[in-house]
Amino acid sequence: MDENIAEAIVAAPEADASDAVDAETFRVKMTTRNVNVHYAEKHALRDVTLDIGEREVTALIGPSGCGKSTYLRCLNRMNDTIDICRVTGRLELDGQDIYDDSVDVVQLRASIGMVFQKPNPFPKSIFDNVAYGPRIHGLVSDRADLDQLVEQSLRKAGLFDEVKDRLGDPGTSLSGGQQQRLCIARAIAVGPEVILMDEPCSSLDPIATARIEELIDELRQNYTIVIVTHSMQQAARVSQKTAFFHLGDLIEQGETPQIFTNPRDEKTQGYITGRFG
């Protein structure tokens, strides 16, 4: 293993990626067809059909309890950890059914990383937090590679300069915003193709939020990102596509500017103008 691999894992091309987005080379990364989710008796998600475009940010918005987080957790089968949860429908990553029996969730989640609502660094050092994924997946074979991978992941998450002198400190000693960027670095270190973010800024102050939003914008050059947010401004700022959920239904989806300026559905209209939420 050489330097290139560590680089590839964090997918850090130096090339100007902005034109990749501008060039309208839209490609579907994930498709979901008629996704239904039941929690015991409760029908939490009804017939959601949605495509996630590669290397762009898709925002899922809607009032609380609308099913947007539930949908997000279907994408990397996090709902498997909940006994009573049942998912039906077809969900694909690059054309491969991710709920197929042949797919291992471990492998799947290595390709689809996740960042959670509350920063949840492990009670380990900053270094070990980032190194955790590569270690369990056996991605690196020696310490030097690991060091490099950790450094590059932290750099991609825009955290390295702040923590480079204290990599041995516990991850929990960082501030909330730093912790969340640590969690992003932790997700990047596994080398995912898709990153799911579940309200990543909801517990952060405005400055830390701005920092994360910038980071998301940088990351989309290399990753497909799906973000759940309850802040419409944030959705408007960071996303290219937006999907609006309401009471378990996907009401409307489209280009972000279109959703926010010219929504087709009156529920969407009502939500973005703040009539309910």
Asked if 131 and 116 touch (Cβ cutoff 8 Å), the reply is no
Helix (H) or strand (E) holding 250: strand 249-255
Distance, CA of 5 to CA of 51 (rounded, Å): 30
| Buried-state track 39-63, b at ≥16 Cβ within 10 A, e below 16 | eeeeebbeebebbbebbbbbbbbbe
Q: Which of residues 221-250 bind another protein (CB under 8 A)?
A: 222
∠ at Cα 245 (241, 247), nearest 5°?
175
Minimum CB distance to another protein, residue 35 (Å) = 19
If binding is defined by CB under 8 A, does position 208 make contact with another protein?
Answer: no
If binding is defined by CB under 8 A, does position 212 make contact with another protein?
Answer: no
Distance, CA of 3 to CA of 136 (rounded, Å): 20
Kindly tell me which residue out of 88, 107, 173, 233 binds another protein, with binding defined by CB under 8 A. Answer: 107
Minimum CB distance to another protein, residue 81 (Å) = 6
Which contacts of 39-47 are long-range, i.e. CB under 8 A and separated by 24 or more positions?
A: 39/82, 39/84, 39/85, 40/84, 43/248, 44/70, 44/248, 45/70, 45/71, 45/74, 45/248, 46/248, 46/249, 47/89, 47/249, 47/250
Stretch that binds another protein, among 188-196, 210-218, 242-250, 265-273 (CB under 8 A): 188-196
- Residues composing the chain: 277
∠ at Cα 79 (192, 37), nearest 5°?
120
Minimum CB distance to another protein, residue 264 (Å) = 34
Minimum CB distance to another protein, residue 244 (Å) = 25
If binding is defined by CB under 8 A, does position 39 make contact with another protein?
Answer: no
- Phi and psi torsions of 5, nearest 5°: -70, -45
Encoded one letter per residue, x for contact with another protein by CB under 8 A and - for no contact, window 122-161 reads xxx-------xx--xxxx----------------------
Kindly tell me which residue out of 19, 24, 83, 165 binds another protein, with binding defined by CB under 8 A. Answer: 83
Stretch that binds another protein, among 2-10, 42-50, 233-241, 269-277 (CB under 8 A): 2-10
Minimum CB distance to another protein, residue 271 (Å) = 27
If binding is defined by CB under 8 A, does position 72 make contact with another protein?
Answer: no
| Tokens encoding 16 | 């100007």
Minimum CB distance to another protein, residue 116 (Å) = 6
Q: In the complex with another protein, which residue's Cβ is closer, 121 or 248? A: 121
Which residue type does 123 have?
Answer: P
If binding is defined by CB under 8 A, does position 23 make contact with another protein?
Answer: no
Q: How many residues of this chain interact with another protein, rule: CB under 8 A? A: 47
Q: In the complex with another protein, which residue's Cβ is closer, 209 or 222? A: 222
Q: In the complex with another protein, which residue's Cβ is closer, 55 or 211? A: 55
Residue reference for tokens 């959703």: 259
Binding site for another protein (CB under 8 A): 4-5, 7-9, 11-15, 20, 76, 78, 81, 83, 104-111, 113-116, 118, 120-124, 132-133, 136-139, 183, 186-187, 190-191, 193, 196, 222
